Chains A and B, each alone.
Chain A
Amino acid sequence: MRLARFAVAAVTLGLLIAALHDRVMAFPVEGDQTALPANTELNEDALTRPREVFRSELTGRKSYLVNLGNLAFSSPSIMGGVARQANVSCGTCHVNGAGNAKFFMPKMSTRPGNFDTTGPLFNPKADNSLLDPVRIPSLRGARYLAPYGADGRMASLHDFVRNVIVNEFAGSEPSPVIVDAIVAYLQDIDFLPNPSLGPTGQLVGKVSESERRGEALFAKPFPHDPGMSCAGCHVPSGAFVDHKQHDVGSGGLFKTPTLRNADFNAPYFHDGRFDTYDQVVAHFDSVFALGLTAQDKKDLVAYLTAVGDGILPYEHDGAGASLKEINDFATVLDTAIAAGDKDVVALAVDTIGGELRELTEQYPDRKNTSVSGGEQQRSNARAALKQVVLLLRRVDIAVGEGRTADAATDYRNYRYLMAAAVPSLLASAEPWSLFNSSVHDQHYGALRQVMQSKHVSQ
């Protein structure tokens, strides 16, 4: 199954992604008039996004509940206080249901990729007066990964989701259907497929000698405690977890994290203290006195890398990807308008409208000095997106006033424009958009240069 051509493709993709990551120029939140601390890095301008694989799409279409959950997961309006103000949603940290290794928030993070869920910013009532951030985990395969939380304190994903909204981010009590929907969405996110793994978690196909030796070491009992092994906790046949908490010398009891797709989930450990598998292996060697040779360590890293792989982990963020997500969200309106469900319509219009406005900003207006050319195309793209934002708002107003038939007509018009005219206009403007890497770099480079003047003076 593990074909050579796949390996070549994977390497090529890896190089491409490495190149893309090198090129990405991050632009942090700035100024002293924002709800988030200055120098917060949300990595929202990244040109690549983790790829999302849905179980239900393997055999059919995502359900209403899954789409509603995805929508709510992407909606700042289910959060409270600062998060809502700052446009922070679940998806800000868990991009497409994965993690966000570049996320960094002063006072709430100690390094990129971690976040203090009991810090002072988002809900002072939840503040434990300690800077104790936890790694932002990928949620792929969440249905296999109970209990929840880095310390595994919650058996129920439903309870965990509610806790995040209400306690960690000060949101209002969510309606049961919203929590159910988010749970359905999370449970629908699959691991990225890894053709190197057989059904019971063993390496299959073309396996290198080093990977084979690593696999054997992984299952080998620890010298000073034969009842223990790596595989004893990271059970290969069970998504590489055992659903238990352990003390592995990192400062307490923490649940066993999955190794599936872990190549893309750095940093590692509950607080994200390690950047690489080498560091992780060295830690275990030291804490459990494993007596690993240099070759053993290399072999274990080779094994972990093979286990943690996945097909096409990233996708280019362009108009196509954005519109697909927006169209998936909009399917919720098919049901909600007919049912006259004001709350869900309002949530959908708020969230989709926000996404469409963000998409509009990918096509710089004519006053933007960092972009030249394509003025008419950019203007047309912006006008079209604004037009559909307003159609959605008409839907919201109509449903709010009980005019369901009018709402259905406006929604049909929205769908009509989103089916062909809008994608076509966005495609025409794409060369001058921030989805074009050179335009992207010019734009963010210019912004960064301007912002730097402020830091130089301080």
Chain B
Amino acid sequence: MQKTVALCLVAFALATGMCRATAAPLDAAAERYRPYMIEGIGSALTGARELRERIAANDLAGAKKAWLSARAGWERSEVFTAGFVPELDALIDAWPNADSGFHAIEAKLFGAGKTDVDDDADALVKNLDGLNGKLRDMPLTPQGLLDGTARLAYEVGESKADGGESRISGTSLDDMRNNVAGIEFAYRTIFADALKAADAKLDQSVTARIEQLKTIVAAPDLPHVDVRALRQASEELLVALQAASVKLGLHQPTLEAQSR
């Protein structure tokens, strides 16, 4: 029954403009994303290694700083993590009561104010290292990257009224800024040129929504983020990306990592 309903949704998506054509020029463009991906995860890994050293030295302030640095690299990379490496993504960014990963460490460092996170930090380094090792040879598809860009754009618009994802460290707004930076880079690097050629007005629309998101998350702190404008811009960006997918000869972007 559920499969039937899911098929209905797919059929609905087809009926509302999903299209498939060759996207070969985008394959080359997708490759241009790879250095950014390597840089982001590399930065997260460097931060995680520094975190491990600061923990060993029982340096709480230094460990917090290293966590923040590692986190920034990770959040910039979320365009691809959920779709291309879902298992590692779940290990690295699980919440709320994960055994290891960013949020487990966050709770101890920023919550309990303790540095007894040796095992967690080891696991984080190991998982990020494992991910880092995959990046050079990982096949990058334009569709997968469009899916990731769209999903992240939707996620940015989610309510943060409860303090957001990184509420214990108080850095949910930084997560959002890094997410938007990741979205912008992915769009400009992979899709913008092709879309501009196919439909310059639509490209302007996507770019304008990304700029709006950047302006909104530039607020000084989370309580001053205009949450309604944020949600609207997030959803309008998604609608524009849905339209863009047709122009680019891709499927409509999925809204959940495993829902295609």
Which residues of A are at the interface with B, using a C-beta cutoff of 8 A?
29-36, 76-77, 82, 84-87, 350, 353-354, 357-358, 361, 365-370, 375-377, 379-380, 382-384, 386-387, 389-390, 393-394, 396-397, 413, 416-417, 420-421, 424-425, 428, 443, 446-447, 449-451, 453-454, 456-457
Interface range on chain B: under 10, 10 to 19, 20 to 34, or 35 or more? 35 or more
Residues of B within 8 A of A394 (CB): 239
A421 lies within 8 A of B12 (CB): yes
Partner of B168, one of A31, A76, A368, A413: A31
Instruction: Tell me if B137 is interfacial: C-beta within 8 Å of chain A.
Output: no
17 extra A-B contacts, CB within 8 A, seeds A369-B97, A425-B5, A453-B168? A31-B163, A31-B172, A33-B170, A33-B172, A77-B228, A82-B223, A85-B227, A369-B98, A383-B255, A383-B256, A413-B16, A421-B8, A425-B9, A450-B103, A451-B168, A454-B112, A457-B113
Question: Nearest A residue to B92 by beta-carbon distance?
Answer: A367
How far does the alpha carbon of A353 sit from the alpha carbon of B239 in the complex, in Å?
Answer: 14
Instruction: Tell me if B161 is interfacial: C-beta within 8 Å of chain A.
Output: yes
Residues of B within 8 A of A420 (CB): 5, 8
Residues of A within 8 A of B162 (CB): 29-31, 34
Instruction: Tell me if B1 is interfacial: C-beta within 8 Å of chain A.
Output: yes
Question: Nearest A residue to B157 by beta-carbon distance?
Answer: A357
A421 lies within 8 A of B5 (CB): yes
Interface string of B85-118 (1 = CB under 8 A from A): 0100110011111110001000110111110000
Partner of A34, one of B223, B257, B258: B223
B173 lies within 8 A of A354 (CB): no
Give chain B nearest CB distance to A384 CB in angstroms: 6
Residues of A within 8 A of B256 (CB): 365, 379-380, 382-383, 386
How far does the alpha carbon of A346 sit from the alpha carbon of B235 in the complex, in Å?
Answer: 13
How far does the alpha carbon of A350 sit from the alpha carbon of B232 in the complex, in Å?
Answer: 8
B97 lies within 8 A of A367 (CB): no
Residues of B within 8 A of A375 (CB): 258
Residues of A within 8 A of B170 (CB): 31-33
Partner of A447, one of B90, B96, B221: B96
Residues of A within 8 A of B111 (CB): 450-451, 453-454, 457
Interface set, chain B 150-200, CB cutoff 8 A to A: 154, 157-164, 167-168, 170, 172-173
B254 lies within 8 A of A34 (CB): no
A30-B163, A397-B239, A417-B12 known; A383 vs B96 contact (CB < 8 Å): no
Residues of B within 8 A of A449 (CB): 97
Give chain B nearest CB distance to A45 CB in angstroms: 10
A384-B9, A390-B238 known; A453 vs B228 contact (CB < 8 Å): no
A383 lies within 8 A of B163 (CB): no
Residues of B within 8 A of A417 (CB): 9, 12
Residues of B within 8 A of A453 (CB): 107-108, 111-112, 168
Question: Nearest B residue to A76 by beta-carbon distance?
Answer: B228
Instruction: Tell me if B22 is interfacial: C-beta within 8 Å of chain A.
Output: no
A370 lies within 8 A of B2 (CB): no
Question: Nearest A residue to B15 by beta-carbon distance?
Answer: A413
Partner of A29, one of B90, B161, B257: B161
Give chain B nearest CB distance to A322 CB in angstroms: 15
The 9 closest A-B pairs by CB, nearest first: A31-B163, A31-B167, A446-B97, A453-B111, A383-B259, A386-B255, A393-B235, A33-B222, A454-B111
Question: Nearest A residue to B170 by beta-carbon distance?
Answer: A33
Residues of B within 8 A of A365 (CB): 256
Interface centre among B8, B97, B159, B170 (most CB of A within 10 A): B97
A424 lies within 8 A of B5 (CB): yes
B239 lies within 8 A of A450 (CB): no
How far does the alpha carbon of A32 sit from the alpha carbon of B171 in the complex, in Å?
Answer: 10
Instruction: Tell me if B77 is interfacial: C-beta within 8 Å of chain A.
Output: no
Interface centre among A382, A384, A449 (most CB of B within 10 A): A384
Partner of B96, one of A36, A77, A370: A370
B161 lies within 8 A of A87 (CB): yes
How far does the alpha carbon of A31 sit from the alpha carbon of B97 in the complex, in Å?
Answer: 16
5 sampled A-B residue pairs with Cβ under 8 A: A87-B227, A369-B94, A370-B97, A424-B1, A447-B97
Question: Nearest A residue to B158 by beta-carbon distance?
Answer: A357
Residues of B within 8 A of A386 (CB): 154, 255-256
Partner of B95, one of A358, A369, A397: A369
How far does the alpha carbon of A368 sit from the alpha carbon of B90 in the complex, in Å?
Answer: 8
Question: Nearest A residue to B97 by beta-carbon distance?
Answer: A446
Residues of A within 8 A of B163 (CB): 29-31, 33-34
B161 lies within 8 A of A379 (CB): no
Interface centre among B13, B86, B163, B242 (most CB of A within 10 A): B163
A87-B159, A413-B16 known; A380 vs B259 contact (CB < 8 Å): yes
B161 lies within 8 A of A33 (CB): no
A33 lies within 8 A of B173 (CB): yes
